[in-house]
Structure 1
Amino acid sequence: MKDINELIKLIELEELSPNIYVGHNYQAPWNRVFGGQVLSQAVSAAYKTVAKDRFAHSLHAYFLLAGDISIPIHYEVESIRDGGSFSTRRVVAKQNDVPIFITSISFQSKQEGFDHQIDMPNVVGPEGLKSDEDLVNKYKLFVPQNILQSIKTRPFEFRPVEKLNVFDRSTKPPYKHIWFKAKEKVEGGLDVHQTLLTYVSDYNLLTTATLPHTKGPIPKDLFMASLDHAMWFHRDFRIDEWMLYALDSPSASNTRGFTRGNIFTQKGKLVASVVQEGLIRKAKKGTLK
């Protein structure tokens, strides 16, 4: 899925009846429904039920079950509240009438108020950095085929700040900085750009939590799955312009890894913040439990 318009079509959804929408699945090389897909499709479904002058400012989600990649997902939207400035929606994603994902999403109309932000980390810009696709091509004989395929078929370009070397067997501190943007120009309003940012926000989170515990840049013999995901949209942006994802993992314990991320424009404007906790276990042969 290298084409960004193919992704936009994937998350657009079809209306089955009032407040019920259906979405199809990206056929990911790892044969599991990608969490970013479900997140972005849920945001897309909720957007269809709110006034045009309201934009998402936060979401709080739980992944309940692994989705079956061969079955379409139904999104049921409940209108919780429409106030003078805010609208709240609850979205339940189901397969075979069984909930696999739930989220609450809040929308707000544009308003003037106080304004401050933290500074963007002082890292090198995207110019001159190699993309992760360049890196896996360089080391393709040493990269698992499913990872190689997934990186080559993404409609976003990622340029990691920290140098990657598959022969480096040392553990690393739980920090990561990655520049990213859509590979093509994206048409549409802020709602489209927010939905796409929700999709791409699910990349690189859990692997940041593995850095102090795995030898080498590619986690091996681990089973990882997102448990929950929260996101806040602070300011307007364009997904087809370079943005920095500054990630850190303050904690890992009890088979769970916790990661935070701040997303900045190239000019240093903080546009979104993300937190996620995920399951990280030693993989057992013959099972994914």
Structure 2
Amino acid sequence: MSTLIKPPPLDSSRAAIENVLELTQLKDIDPDLFTNTRPLWHPPGARGIFGGAAIAQCLAAAQRTVPQDFTVHSMHCYFVLAGNADIPIIYHVEHVREGRSFATRTVQARQRGKPIFTTTMSFVKQGSGGKHMVEHATPMPFVPVARDDDPDMRLPQGLDGPFQSQRIDIENNDSPHPHTKRARQWIKARGRISPSGGHEAHLSALAYMSDSYFIGTVARVHKLWRMTAGQNRHGKPSIAEDVIKKLLDSDEETLKKYTTPLNEAFIESVRRGRQAEDKKVVPMPEVGMMVSLDHTIYFHNPRSFRADEWMFTEMESPWAGDGRGLVIQRMYTASGTLIATCVQEGLVRLKQQPETKI
């Protein structure tokens, strides 16, 4: 059973992402205990549930334990174990500090008595910064504006997924230096977040979407491809062998059609291989394992944006090594206001080739 209590009917007055992130408070047991109201999404090929769900639901639970005039400004998370989409999650909120200007909460997500995710959040009282403040922000780069009628609209979690995105070409994609590249996209929740959700619903939605393609930036800037990691839950490759054969003989329009975040480096290898004199695909490293280890969000202007309107995100990877990679993400409103800075480190291991014996 994927939920502790039978889910109620979907609320049509809410956006899809509100229904996905809905929590049930177990107040008869403990007012600081919550559980997922609805089943959580398991990405094809992933070891567990989508990490953004744990991030967002921990935030949603903590927000229900602070005064209305307190708003989250930072959260620091650790992915401990892969979450099982077939088992309910119990979220326990611990009141660490109740201050005049700041409040601190720690939330632990558990399955079968074991912690799978933990986060500590800090909330600040509105207006506590004073009338005169030190202010600056990194400006948003100039990029093409997102369009609702764009034919390249993507639904990263399927037709019924709670958010949509539009990818933009990677900046400096041909550079030999991965740290100079910028992976960019427009993103927003589908539908309209309800007024009853308040600013808390928009913050939870942003937290959920902040995990989209995050650590995958390392693979993108290195042009790695994921055949093994791209398997579905039944162990079958996401890029079937017959599809690969078709791609090798297909035209550019067909290549574009089959390009996804999981196989775009493979598609690139096809393009590069065609340019080679022997017409063979240039061998490229393959990701053997890629898992998020931690996730940090610093919220800026947390009550001045809507997560159901287009937000621009830009990701860069300043470092990768020792089987890990680091990615920094900045999130902006369409008008250019910086609303969040996120940092994630993840496990990024290459599929090791058998050693040749001499």
Distance 1:153 1:178 in 2: 20
Which residue of structure 2 aligns with residue 20 of structure 1? 33
Match of 2:99 in 1: 83
Q: Deviations over 1:165-199 (max 9, x none)?
A: xxx99988442110111221112311110011000
1:44 aligns with 2:63: no
Task: Find the partner of 1:196 among 205, 208, 233.
Answer: 205
Compared CA separation, residues 6 and 266, structure 1 to 2 (3 A): closer
User: How much has 1:85 moved relative to structure 2?
Assistant: 1.0
Aligned positions of 1:92-241 closer than 5 A? 92-111=108-127, 112=130, 113-127=133-147, 130-133=151-154, 150-162=157-169, 173=178, 174-187=181-194, 188-215=197-224, 218-219=262-263, 221-235=287-301, 236-241=304-309
Bigger shift: 68-77 or 105-114? 105-114
Name the CA shift for 1:269/1:278 in 2 (closer, same or farther; >3 Å). Answer: same
What stretches of structure 1 of length at least 5 have no aligned partner? Answer: 135-146
**Kindly tell me: are residues 282 and 177 of structure 1, through their superposed partners in 2, closer, same or farther at Cα, counting changes over 3 Å?**
same
Whether the aligned pair in 2 keeps the contact of 1:258 and 1:278 (CA below 8 Å) is: yes
Higher relative strand content: 1
Who wins on radius of gyration, i.e. which is larger? 2
1:217-271 CA deviation, whole Å, 9 max, x = no partner? 5356532111000001101210111110011111111111110011111111101
**What RMSD, in angstroms, separates the aligned Cα atoms of the two structures?**
2.8
Cα 1:210–1:116, aligned 2, differ >3 Å: closer, same or farther?
same
1:213 is displaced (CA, Å) by 2.8
Which amino acid counterpart does residue 67 of structure 2 have in structure 1?
A
Matched positions, count: 267
Aligned-partner Cα distance in 1 for 2:299–2:212:
17
- Is the Cα contact below 8 Å between 2:43 and 2:49 reproduced in 1? no
Q: Which residue identity lines up with residue 74 of structure 2 in the other structure?
A: S
Which TM-score applies when normalising by structure 1?
0.83
Unaligned runs of 5+ in 2: 1-9, 226-260, 264-285, 354-358
For the residues of structure 1 that align with 2:117 and 2:61, how far apart are their CA atoms? 13
TM-score by length of 2: 0.68
- Percent identity over the alignment is 35
| Residue identity in the other structure for 1:251 | W
1:243 and 1:105, CA in 2 relative to 1: closer, same or farther beyond 3 A? Answer: same
Structure 2 vs 1, CA of residues 79 and 65 (structure 1 numbering), >3 Å: closer, same or farther?
same
> 1:29 and 1:83 mapped to 2: Cα distance?
39
Shift of 1:206: 1.1
> 1:27–1:205: structure 2 CA closer, same or farther, 3 Å change rule?
closer
Determine the C-alpha separation between the residues in 1 that align with 2:83 and 2:163: 23
Query: What SS class does the counterpart of residue 201 from structure 2 fall into?
Result: helix
What does residue range 245-260 of structure 1 map to in structure 2 within 5 Å? 245-260=313-328
Q: Which residue of the partner structure matches residue 266 of structure 2?
A: none
What's 2:256 paired with?
A: none
Whether the aligned pair in 2 keeps the contact of 1:63 and 1:228 (CA below 8 Å) is yes
CA distance in 2, matches of 1:175, 1:130: 23
Inter-partner Cα distance in structure 1 for 2:305 and 2:219: 30
1:275 is the counterpart of 2:343: yes
Q: Deviations for 1:64-105, whole angstroms, at most 9, x for unmatched residues?
A: 011111101111111001111111000111101101111001
Name the aligned partner's letter for residue 154 of structure 2.
Answer: E
